[in-house]
Amino acid sequence: MKSYPAIFSIPVIILLFLFNTFAAAESPKPRNGSKIIVVNDDGFSKFHSGHYQSAADLRDEMLGYQNTQTAVVEWCILAGSRANYPSKVTELIGTGMVEFPRRGDKLAYETVHRLAKEGINTLQVVADACHEAGISCYASMRMNGDYPASMWDGSFPRFANSTFWWEHPEYRQRDAKGNTLTKFSYAFPEVRSFKLAILREAAQQNIDGINLDFLRHPTFFGYEEPLIKAFQDKYGIDAATVSTDDPRWIPLRSEIMTRFVRDVRKILDEAEQRTGRKLGLSARIDWKKYPLWGCDIKRWMEEKLLDYLVVSQHGLGGYEFPIAPFVEMARGSGCAILFGEEAVLSGHDRTSEEDRRIAEGTMEAPERNILSLEQYKSRAARWYSEGADGLQLFNETRKEILGELGDIK
C-alpha cells in the first residue's frame, strides 16, 4: 500500500486510488501501416491439416508475418476446453482416445502429445517466434467452446471437452424447464475459476496479452439457480416465465461477466509485476447480441480493462453493420476498435462421416468460399471511414492478404 503526504485531501487520495485501479489502457500500435491488423490462429486447424508438426513449423509460420502489416497474432490455446499446450489445469486434446472422429483429429492429437513429451510448450514457441518477427502474441481463449455429448456419436466431445466438463454437468446451463444443456454457465463460480486458472497458466508464458473470444461459442448463461434467485430477488418474478432474451437479464448477467473480466485483468496485472512488461486484454463480441451475453463493453472500457475490442458477428462472413457507434463509445478510453472479419463466406467444417467418405474416395472434399483481397480492401475502406482503428481477421492466414490492409483510403 502506498503512503501519501498528510497534506493530500481525502478527494485527492480517492483520485489516486482510482488512477491506480483503472490504469490507462494502451492499444497495440499499427505495424508497417497506419491501421492495426490482428490475425487469429485457431491453434488447431493447421495441426489437423499436418501443416504444424514441429516447433520449427510453428516458428516458421509466425516468422512469415514479419514482412506483413500484422501487429498481433491471437493464438488460440483451447479446442473445446482442452489445450494444445502442456497444461496442468486441463488435458491435451484427444487425451484418453484410441479411435478418432477424423484423420486430422488423430494427426493433431499425435503432434500435440509428441511435442508435449519432447518438452515443447507450443504457446511459448509461438510467443517467442512472434517476438522474433517483431509482433505481439495474445493467448486467445474460446469462452465456451465445448461440444454436445451426442455429436458424431460422442467422438468429438470426447476429443475436445475437458474432464471438468464431463464430471460436472451441474455447472452447465439449464433451459427454462430445468433440462441440462451443453455449455458451461458463468453463473457458477467453479466455472469461472476453471477458466481463470487456464488464463493464469497462459500468463506464465512470454505472451503480450489475452484475448477473450465470446464468439466461440455463445451463450454463457441460462436458467441456473444463482440467476433464477437473483431474478426473483430483483424483479419478484419467476425467471422461468420470461424468455432468454428478456432485457431484464442484462444487468444480472453483466455483473457476473464484468467480475470475470476484472479477474482476468488482475491476472495480467500480477504478471506485469513479475515481468515488468505491459500486458494487454482484448475481447471479441457480436455487435448486436453482446448485451444479452453479459458483455458490458461500455463499462469495460470505462474501467480501462480493454486495450482493443473486436466487434464482429456470430456466423459466416460477409456481414455488414455500423462500426461508428462503437468508435464513439470507446472515445477517450484508450481502447482501439477493430472490425472483426470472418474470412469464410460459405461452407462448413468437415464432419466425421464426410471425412470417412473422402478417405474412401466416394465424395469430394467440401469447398469453402472465402473473402478475396479486393473484398477485404473495399470493406476495410468503409470501416476505416467510420473510424475503425483496424481489422481483426478470423480464419485467415494468407500472407499476401496481410500486406495491404493497413493503409487503405
Q: What's the CATH code of the domain at 41?
A: 3.20.20.80
Considering the domain boundaries, does residue 125 fall inside one? yes
* Residue 4 is assigned to a structural domain of this protein: no
| Segment 191-195 long-range contacts (CB within 8 Å, at least 24 positions apart) | 192/256, 192/259, 192/260, 192/263, 194/81, 194/89, 194/90, 194/164, 195/141, 195/143, 195/260
pLDDT at 22: 54
pTM of the predicted model as reported, rounded to 2 decimal places:
0.94
| 242 domain residue, yes or no | yes
**Taking the chain (409 residues) in consecutive chunks of 10 residues, what is each chunk's mean pLDDT?**
38 42 79 96 98 98 97 98 98 97 98 98 98 98 98 97 98 98 98 98 97 98 98 97 97 98 98 94 98 98 98 97 98 97 95 95 93 97 98 94 88
Per-residue pLDDT, 24: 72
- DSSP code per residue over 152-197: GGGHHHHHHS-HHHHH-GGGEEE-TT--EEEEE-TTSHHHHHHHHH
**Is 408 within a domain?**
no
Tell me which residue of 250, 180, 257 sits closest to 214, measured CA to CA: 257
Is 70 part of a structural domain of the chain? yes
**pLDDT at residue 11 in the model:** 47
Q: Is residue 5 in a domain?
A: no
Residue 135: inside a domain? yes
| Residue 338, SS3 per DSSP | strand
Does 409 fall in a domain? no
Residue 31, strand partner residues: none
Using the structure block, give the residue that is written with the C-alpha cell 451426442: 150
Strands (E), 245-307: 280-286
- Among 29, 32, 27, 133, smallest CA distance to 404 is for 32
Residue 315's alpha-carbon distances to 81, 215, 244, 348, in angstroms, are 21, 9, 20, 11
Kindly state the cell numbers that stand for 349: 467444417
Provide the domain count of the chain: 1
| pLDDT for res 23 | 61
* Domain range for 188: 10-403
